[in-house]
Amino acid sequence: MSDTLKIQSVPISRRDSFNIRDKQTRELKPFHSGDIKILLLENISQKAVDILSKAGYQVEFHTKALDKETLIEKIKDVHVVGIRSKTKLTQEVLSHANKLIAIGCFCIGTNQVDLTYAASRGICVFNSPFSNSRSVAELVIAEIILLARQLGDRSREMHDGVWNKVSNNCYEIRGKTLGIVGYGHIGTQLGVLAESLGMHVIWYDILPLMPIGMSTAVESLDEVLAEADFVSCHVPETPETKNMIGARELSLMKPGSYLINASRGTVVDIDALAASLKSGHLAGAAVDVYPKEPLANGPGFESPLRNCPNTLLTPHIGGSTEEAQRMIGIEVATAATKFVNTGASINAVNFAECDLRAIPLTDRTTVRIVNVHQNVPGVLRQINNILADYNVNKQISDSKGDVAYFMADVTVEDSKDINTIYEHVTAIGENIITRVLF
C-alpha cells in the first residue's frame, strides 16, 4: 500500500475539485485494476497524450476513427477511451467494453455516445463544452465577412482564371444585425466580437439569460429570423432542435440575408437551405456541420449545398485550432485521470458530480471505496452495513436518473480487509462497478 502513482497536476478550466488544492496529500491509484489502458482515437491533442502517459497509463493512439468491428475488438481491453465527433459509442459497441470505466469526449458534443447505457454500465463520460468557444466564434465572424463580400465565389473564380471585380450586393458588416440562436458560451463570445465590429446583436434562447454588452434578447426564433441580416445557430442536438431551421423558417428570413450553422448537422434542413440559396431568397450561407459526415479525410463528400451560390462549406472545423485542441486535451485528459485515480466525477455528463477531500500524505491506512449502483432504496444501507466495522472518515453519495454514485474513505489497518470490503460490496445485487483506490 506504500506504492503511489505520480500524477502531474494540470489546471483545468472549470471548477476544481478538492484533490488539487493541497500538495501535502496522498496521491491515489486504482487497486485491482492492473495497468490502466487508454485508447485515443481521431488524432486527439498531443497534450492529452502527454498527461495520460505521465500518469503512468498505457496509451494507444490513433489518428483516425476506427471501423465498428475494429473498435469493438479494441474496446474490450481498455479502461478509458478518448474520442471526438466521428466515433459512435453505441449500446452495441459499449456492450463489449468489459473494463471500460470512463469515456473522454474531446469536443463539445456527446451525442455520439449512448449516455444512458454508458451510465447503466458504470461508465462515466466527460467532455469539454467551453474550451473551443473562442475558435468557433472567430470562424463565424470570418464567415460573416466572407459572405458579405462574396469572397468565397471570388476566390474560386480567380483559381479558375476568371477576373470578376464587382461591388453589387457586397456589403460592410458595420451596422448590420446579427441574430444568434442559442446564447451559450459560443453565442455570447460571438456577440461580443460582432459588437466590436459595429454590428447590432439580437439573440434567442430557451433559457432566461443575462445579455452581454449591448445585445438584446428577443421573444422567439421567428423574431430573430425576421429581423436579422445574418442568422447564426449555436444549439445542441436534441429532438427539439432537429430541423429547427426548415423551409418555413427560411421563408421568414429577410430576402438577401445569410444563414450560418456551426452547431450540429441536424439543426438545418439541408435540402430546404439549398433550395433557398438557389432561388435567391438567401444571399449566402456558411455550413460547418452536416447530417452525415465522412469518417475520414479524403474525396467523396456529397451535399445538396455543393455549388450553391455564395455558400461556404467547411469540414466541421469550428473548434479545430491548435489552441482549442490543446485546451480540450488538458481539460478532458485531466478529468479522466482524476476519475481513474481518485474517483472524482466533477464535470461528468452522465454521472452525479461527486468528490471527497484528498487523503493526508501522512495517512497510510485509508483507502477509498468508489461504487456505482442502481438508484433504488436499500443499497446505501447495505454498503454502510459492510463498512460498519471500519472507521469511515468521510463519504458522499448522489444520483442521476437510474444510477447512483458513492464514495467513502475508510481506515483499513489490515490490508487483507481491502479484499473483504471489495468482495462484499461487489456482491450487492444492485452493484454495477466497485473500485478500491489507495
Please give the positions annotated as active site.
264, 293, 316
Angstrom distances, CA of residue 415 to CA of 27, 364, 410, 423: 18, 11, 12, 14
Q: What DSSP assignment string belongs to 158-208?
A: HHTT------TT----TTPEEEEES-SHHHHHHHHHHHHTT-EEEEE-SS-
Q: How buried is 334 (Cβ within 10 angstroms: 0-12 exposed, 13-18 middle, 19+ buried)?
A: buried
Q: Which residue has the cell 471527497?
A: 356
User: Are 406 and 377 spatial neighbours (Cβ–Cβ below 8 Å)?
Assistant: no
User: Are 196 and 144 spatial neighbours (Cβ–Cβ below 8 Å)?
Assistant: no
- The C-alpha cell at 384 is 454502510
Q: What is the DSSP letter of 268?
A: B
Does residue 73 sit in helix, strand or coil? helix
Evaluated on CA atoms 158, 161, 165, 166, the torsion sign reads negative
The whole-angstrom separation of Cα 333 and Cα 104 is 7
Q: Which amino acid is at 92?
A: E
Angstrom distances, CA of residue 131 to CA of 12, 87, 192, 319, 331: 10, 20, 17, 9, 8
The whole-angstrom separation of Cα 285 and Cα 276 is 10
The whole-angstrom separation of Cα 171 and Cα 311 is 16
Q: How buried is 396 (Cβ within 10 angstroms: 0-12 exposed, 13-18 middle, 19+ buried)?
A: middle
Q: Which amino acid is at 7?
A: I
Q: What is the DSSP letter of 184?
A: S
Strand 37-40, strand 216-217: pairing: unpaired
The whole-angstrom separation of Cα 305 and Cα 275 is 9
User: Are 102 and 55 spatial neighbours (Cβ–Cβ below 8 Å)?
Assistant: no
User: Are 258 and 285 spatial neighbours (Cβ–Cβ below 8 Å)?
Assistant: yes
Q: Which residue has the cell 443575462?
A: 210
- The set of residues, in sequence order, having a beta carbon less than 8 Å from that of 255 and lying 6+ positions away, is 281
